[in-house]
């Protein structure tokens, strides 16, 4: 084990042991920071457009539910192995500042169903892709060519949508809508194929030998062609490995994805820390029909790969996260100097450069510059009686009444110990956040006139 890595883990452990309360806005040692901001994490769903839009090409409700489950599983490694891969120690993303935004697009060929026997296609994962394995979950600046190998999820002659030749293109809009408490809102859409996802999360972090990360919030995915919606909860994570010197994330609970079609999915995460001999990042997921019968089973390790079997036990997909054809699509972003000062990569450019070159002095100096400017802006607003207003998202009655109702309707189908379904917890997230469509479709730079994150 790298002695410097072990010493950094011990440094972080000592730091966390002396820190009380919620750690979400606490800044740890700069050597443990990942070269990206929290506001960018939503790219884990958007960076494989064919995966995101796959449900729109399935005429059968069970396969649409499976496609949504598959998207969630594929996104996990990029989402949770921030700043690394299963072979390296994960790092903490930068705390987003109030008003920080991330605007990006991805494009690739669409989901194209494969006909024939599963044995012929069990390793032919399509451009739908899996999490990339570079130093930040995927390489933040490269351009890659993704495979157009066919999907293995659809084997029946009827399991494709009429728009099968439509290019899959996702657009991500994310904004830090609150800093105390930290709340990030996101909207992802493939408009041509009629698929969108809207979500938000308040992150709460505590330490008791492991870092416990709770995400208060949820996402709702909609497939227009079938007037169908899915409630997707956000998992709680434990960060372990302080004593070994290699930090890794683990999910150790049961989560449910429920759809208005009556189909649902259950994911049981076990992991290495649950029982002696457990396998890190292990899970078993099942897709249920309206009669609560299992129609598909997915079994494996979300950071490595899994198999999908139908109700007869036949393998219909073997998915390898590290397969080159499962890489993310190239990201489309303006050059840094063309981005707005409120856009994440431009705002943190000096910090990111310091992290990538190992210049921790530059990292601290540039990071401090933004943090101090933000404190001055909040103090000025308080003195003037001003209230900060997010640019592209709104909460509660302003935009989210329908979104809250959708959550309440779907959450009743989620099994809970009390039988009442999931709680909304909107009091802890300053309401239910939803993108204002008209504003998101007409984004104009400069985003906030002459005001920048530095207050100038």
3-state SS, one letter per residue, for 432-447:
CEEECHHHHCCCCCCC
Distance of CA 432 to the CA centre of its chain: 18
Angle formed by the axes of helices 360-384 and 349-357, nearest 10°: 160
For 162-177, how does the pLDDT look when each residue is reduced to its tens digit (9 = 90+)?
454 578 999 999 999 9
CA–CA distances in Å: residue 431 to residues 216, 397, 426: 11, 9, 5
* Size of the chain, expressed as the number of residues it contains: 456
Question: Helices marked H in 303-416 — which ranges?
Answer: 344-347, 349-357, 360-384, 401-411
Whether 43 contacts 100, CB under 8 Å: no
Give the integer Cα–Cα distance in Å for 428 and 424: 9
For residue 289, what are its two tokens? 């029909």
| Residues of the chain predicted below pLDDT 50 | 1, 113-162, 164, 274
Taking Cα atoms as reference points, which of 154, 232, 188 lies closest to residue 40? 188
pLDDT for the residue numbered 160: 41
Give me the residue label for tokens 């009429």: 162
pLDDT for the residue numbered 89: 85
For 240-265, how does the pLDDT look when each residue is reduced to its tens digit (9 = 90+)?
887 777 889 999 899 999 999 999 99
Q: What b/e readout covers 87-99, taking b as 16+ CB neighbours within 10 angstroms?
A: ebbbbbbbbbbbb
pLDDT for the residue numbered 295: 98
pLDDT for the residue numbered 124: 34
Give the integer Cα–Cα distance in Å for 253 and 343: 35
Q: What pTM value is reported for the model?
A: 0.86
Give me the residue label for tokens 């090409």: 57
Domain 3-332, second-level architecture: Beta Barrel (2.40)
Give me the residue label for tokens 């489950």: 69
How many Cα atoms sit within 13 Å of 108 on the Cβ side? 31
Q: Is 259 exposed, middle or buried (0-12, 13-18, 19+ CB in 10 A)?
A: buried
DSSP, collapsed to helix, strand or coil, labels residue 232 as strand
Residues 6+ apart with CB under 8 A from 86: 77, 248, 280, 281, 303, 304
Give the integer Cα–Cα distance in Å for 412 and 389: 32
pLDDT for the residue numbered 397: 57
pLDDT for the residue numbered 64: 98
pLDDT for the residue numbered 134: 32
DSSP, collapsed to helix, strand or coil, labels residue 176 as strand
Taking Cα atoms as reference points, which of 212, 251, 257, 249 lies closest to residue 233? 257
pLDDT for the residue numbered 66: 98
Give the integer Cα–Cα distance in Å for 294 and 266: 10
- The CA-to-CA distance between both ends of the chain, in Å, stands at 46
pLDDT for the residue numbered 243: 75
């Amino acid at each position: 084990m790298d002695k410097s890595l072990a010493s950094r883990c011990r440094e972080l452990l000592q730091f966390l042991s002396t820190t009380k309360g919620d750690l979400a806005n606490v800044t740890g040692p700069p050597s443990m920071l990942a070269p990206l901001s929290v506001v960018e994490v939503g790219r884990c769903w958007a960076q494989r457009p064919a995966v995101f839009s796959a449900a729109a090409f399935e005429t059968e409700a069970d396969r649409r539910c499976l496609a949504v489950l598959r998207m969630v599983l594929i996104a996990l490694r990029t989402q949770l192995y921030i700043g690394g891969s299963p072979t390296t120690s994960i790092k903490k993303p930068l705390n987003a500042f109030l008003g920080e935004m991330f605007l990006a697009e991805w494009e690739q060929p669409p989901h194209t169903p494969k006909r024939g026997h599963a044995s012929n296609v069990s390793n032919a994962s399509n451009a739908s892709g899996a999490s990339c394995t570079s130093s930040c979950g995927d390489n933040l600046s490269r351009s890659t060519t993704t495979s157009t190998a066919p999907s293995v999820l659809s084997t029946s002659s009827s399991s494709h949508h009429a728009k099968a030749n439509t290019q899959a293109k996702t657009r991500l809009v994310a904004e830090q809508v609150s800093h105390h408490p930290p709340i990030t809102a996101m909207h992802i859409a493939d408009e041509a194929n009629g698929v969108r996802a809207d979500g938000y999360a308040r992150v709460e972090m505590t330490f008791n030998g492991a870092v416990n990360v709770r995400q208060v919030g949820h996402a709702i995915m909609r497939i227009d062609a079938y007037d169908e919606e899915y409630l997707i909860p956000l998992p709680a994570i434990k960060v372990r490995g302080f004593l070994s010197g290699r930090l890794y994330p683990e999910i150790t609970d049961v989560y449910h994805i429920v759809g208005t079609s009556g189909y649902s999915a259950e994911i049981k995460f076990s992991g290495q820390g649950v029982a002696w001999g457990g396998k890190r990042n292990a899970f078993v997921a099942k897709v249920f029909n309206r009669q609560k019968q299992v129609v598909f089973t997915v079994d494996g390790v979300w950071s490595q790969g899994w198999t999908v079997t139908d109700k007869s036990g036949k393998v219909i997909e073997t998915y390898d996260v590290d397969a080159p054809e499962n890489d993310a699509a190239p990201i489309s972003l303006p050059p840094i100097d063309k981005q707005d000062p409120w856009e994440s990569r431009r705002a943190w450019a000096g910090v990111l450069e310091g992290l990538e070159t190992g210049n921790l002095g530059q990292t601290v100096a540039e990071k401090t510059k933004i943090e101090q400017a933000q404190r001055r802006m909040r103090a000025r607003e308080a003195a003037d009686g001003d209230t900060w207003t997010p640019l592209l998202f709104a909460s509660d009655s302003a935009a989210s009444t329908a979104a809250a109702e959708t959550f309440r309707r779907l959450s009743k189908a989620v099994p809970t110990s009390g039988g009442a379904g999931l709680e909304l917890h909107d009091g802890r997230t300053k309401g239910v956040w939803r993108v204002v469509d008209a504003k998101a479709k007409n984004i104009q730079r400069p985003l906030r006139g002459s005001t920048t994150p530095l207050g100038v």
